[in-house]
Structure formats: structure tokens, C-alpha cells
Amino acid sequence: MKPRIALTVFYIVLVYLASQRHLWFDELYTFYIASAPSLSDLFQDLHIDLNPPLIYLAARACMRLLGNTAFAVRLPSMVGFLVASLCLYEVMARRLRASYGFLAVLIFWSVALYFATEARPYALILGFFGLAMLAWQRAVETPRPTWSAFVLAAAISGMMVSHFFAVFFVTPFLVAELIRGISRRRPDTPVFAALLIPCLLPFFFLRLQSDAAFPPSFQAGFRKMASYYYWTLHPAGWVLLVAFCVALALPYAPSCRVRFARFEATFVGGLLIIPIIVNSAMYILHGAFFTRYAVPTLFAYPLAIVALLAIYTRTSRGKAVVMSGVMAVYLPIQILVKPIRKAPDFTRINPEIPLVAASGLTFLEMDHYEAPETLKRLYYLTDRTYALKYANATIFEGLPLIKQRFPVRAKVEPFREFVKAHPRFLVLGTLDYPEDWLLRYLVESRAKIELIGEFPSQYKDAEMYVVTCGQPY
């Protein structure tokens, strides 16, 4: 079986296993915006999620063909991630050999496969970035294919209409081109044009950013920069290290010496500094930083590891096959060890009193998946003052607007009004979760709080409390 076909078949199996989880909070934003009644409504809703339109338009097209299902809204990500994987294979197979391209893809999946089944722009970014890598690899060859610069420009444009942070993602190409230009003693004008002109596209969609506050643990800063590489390699890093050591320890027949150009090594270095650049920008803007904001950096790991293996073993095919075998065993195990828990029957838990979701994440997901009987008594409570005081997080204070724009069936009410009408209620929450203020406020206000059980499910929260408020609010 040819490597590309084998990778595609294996990918379909892995994606099927990984896609069994339900749509989470961010994915539901994609789902609801994509299913807007009209395209004008879709573009009007873009300010809610602060992304360019491509992911919503792609999801909308798939939902029109396949129905409003989790599979349909995730299909653009599945395709985008497969494109990224096959482009990575071509890049490494052309530079080294097919077995090293195969290994690079398996390493890439070990750190990035989650994005293949998430209905967000990140897999599209990876797909366009992979295509840009392949086009750039051809563009720096002599003779240069006439199509390479145009495909490079198209791929960069695709990134730009997928996410606003894409303007930072051209950094590896620009740094590598700078080094290449120095060695050539002249800049490669067509390549620079293909990289820079598309960077104007996001400004056509840029809107005023929200004034939402984030808890300190989510905010950008030096600690976020330092921890990025740990969290993106965890837990696959240990498996990669073991597989690499096993491959090196076994006897091998070297093939030929391989050397990488300085600009190729610089490209990998450029990938690794993307988190620092994005983090610094968000720090200046007093915003949050999550590992997904620097998603192209995940290409650095397969590129660097495969390059090191090729250098130390002189592109020994056997070494690549051994390490690929270890990774092929690890990948399905990585997915299967994460249990998929079914939600409990909330209609049987104190059905006579309201049920409050302390987290906006849990609230929106429950609203999408729970039975009408549960939704009739499901609430999310808002209070900007308490949210700032106890969590320094106001992102979920926008849920009243979300309820106006999205088909949210459960209730969103101001905290004080709710407590006056319902002094006794259930809370599904996590006491120490940074973004959630309700339980911490209730503890400090000395309301009567009793833990009645834990109910693990696919929702973020599992702890169920019964709360009795004995004072006016």
C-alpha cells in the first residue's frame, strides 16, 4: 500500500475514534453562526466570535449537504487537517525519503490530532500552512515551478481568512527568506510578495475586540511562553523520546549523509518563536493566551525530530520504520484511554428546584444536548460586578446577547433577580475553576452549600451542590 493511502486510511480510523465527543462551547459558536438563517445574519454574527468568515462558510456548506450534525460542522477541520498531513508528508519525503515523510506525519498527529475533530479554524490554518510549506519548498528550488509562488500566495491568503493571528504565522517563512536572501545576496521578490500581500486580508474583517476580562491564569505572560512547549508536547513527548531512543539503539544500515540548508533550520526556529510573538502581542493587549493560538508551531516537532533522526542515522530507512511503528501503536491508545462519559439524568436530581450551571461552558453545552425537561429548569446567572471581583472574568457575561442571536433554550438571568425568586437551587460547578465566580461568591456570602454528589460527564463540571440563600441579595 502506498504511504499516502496508508496514512489516509489510518487517519480515517483515528478521526472516527476521536470524533465521538460532543461539540464543546467554542464549537457550538461555529455551529450556531454557520447555521444562521442567511449569509447576512452569518456575517452579522462574526463579531460574537471574532474570527474571519472562512470556517463558518465552510461549515455552512457542509451542513447544507449533510445536515446540522457534529460530523458536518467538523468536516472542514477533518479535511483541512488531512491536507496538512499529506503536505507534511510530501515536504519530508521530497527532502529525505518516503519513510521519513511517513514518520513526520505520525509525530505530527501525536501532538496535533485533536484539531482534526474540532470545529474551529485551527485545522484550516494547519492545512493552509502545510500547503504553504510545500509551495515554498518548490519555490526555493532551481528551476522554480511557475505555479509555486501563486500557490504560496493562495495558501497564505487561506490562513488570513481563517484567523486574525495568521499575520504572525508567516514569521517562519519571512525569517527563512531573510537568511536565504542574505546567502543569495538578493531578496526573492516573488516569494516575499506572496507572503506579505495576503497579510492585508484580515483587516477587511477586523472588528473591535471585546472588552471581556480573563482570569490571571489565562492571561498572556512569560509563564505562558515558557509553558507552551511543555503543554503542547504533553503527554506525547515521553513517547517521542522513548521511540527516538529505541530507534537509535537498534543496529542500522546508513544510507547517505544529509545536510540541511541554514534557511531550513531557521524555518524551524521561526516556528518555535511563534508562541513568543503571539504571547507578547496578547500581553500588550491584556488578553488571554491559549496554546491553540500558536498552532503552526506544532509542525516544528515533526520537522525537528525527523531531521535529527535523519542526520544521526544517515537517513536509515529501518530507523524511521521502527519509530513509525512505535508511534502507530501509541496514537489509537492515546485516543482510547480518554473515556467518553455519558451525562447523568438531571431530571432525577432534585427535580423540584432550579438547576444553575456555574460555568458558561457547561451551560451552553447542556443547552444543546440536554432533554427539554432539564432545560426548563436550567439557568446561567450573570453579575458583572461579582464576575470581576471573584474571577476577574467577564467572558460569559455576554450570554444574554448569545441567547438573542443563537437558539438557546435555557434561561439566562441576573443573579439578584434569580435569588429573590429561587432562594434554594442546585449548582453544577467546580469551586476553583478560574473563570467561574458563582460558587466562590456563595461561599464568601455564607450561603448554605451542600455537596450532594459528583456526576462525571463530557461537561466540564461534575460537582453538584444544593444551595440555600438565607439573606437578600
Q: How many CB atoms lie within 10 A of CB 209?
A: 11
Do 240 and 270 lie in one domain? The reply is: yes
Residues 86 and 206 in one domain: yes
Within this chain, do residues 84 and 217 fall inside the same structural domain, yes or no? yes
pLDDT of residue 214: 81
Predicted pLDDT of residue 207: 63
Same domain, 120 and 246: yes
71 and 9 fall within a common domain = yes
Q: Does some domain include residue 473?
A: no
The whole domain housing 359 covers: 346-468
Question: What is the dihedral angle through the alpha carbons of 123, 124, 126, 128, rounded to the nearest 10 degrees?
Answer: 170
Asked if residue 164 and residue 233 are part of one domain, the reply reads yes
Q: Which of 299, 318, 336 is the last residue of a domain?
A: 336
The pLDDT, as a whole number, for residue 116 is 98
Same-domain check for residues 290 and 381: no
Number of domains in the chain: 2
Is residue 369 domain-resident? Answer: yes
Q: Could you read off the pLDDT of 373-423 as tens digits, one per residue?
A: 999 999 999 999 999 999 998 889 999 999 999 999 999 999 999 999 999
- Which of the residues in the chain have pLDDT under 70? 1, 207-211, 471-473
Cβ atoms < 10 Å from Cβ of 308: 12
> Considering only CA atoms, which of 91, 161, 150, 171 is closest in space to residue 124?
161
Mark whether 113 and 147 lie in a shared domain.
Answer: yes
Chain segment 249-282, per-residue pLDDT in tens:
888 777 777 888 899 999 999 999 999 999 999 9
**Are 263 and 397 members of one domain?**
no
Residues 357 and 287 in one domain: no
Q: What is the pLDDT of residue 339?
A: 78
Q: Check if the beta carbon of residue 384 is closer than 8 Å to that of residue 360.
A: no
**The predicted structure's pLDDT at residue 109:** 98
319 and 361 in a single domain? The answer is no
Which spans in 45-170 are helix H?
Answer: 46-49, 54-66, 70-95, 98-112, 122-139, 148-160, 166-169
pTM: 0.94
Q: Is 341 inside a domain boundary?
A: no
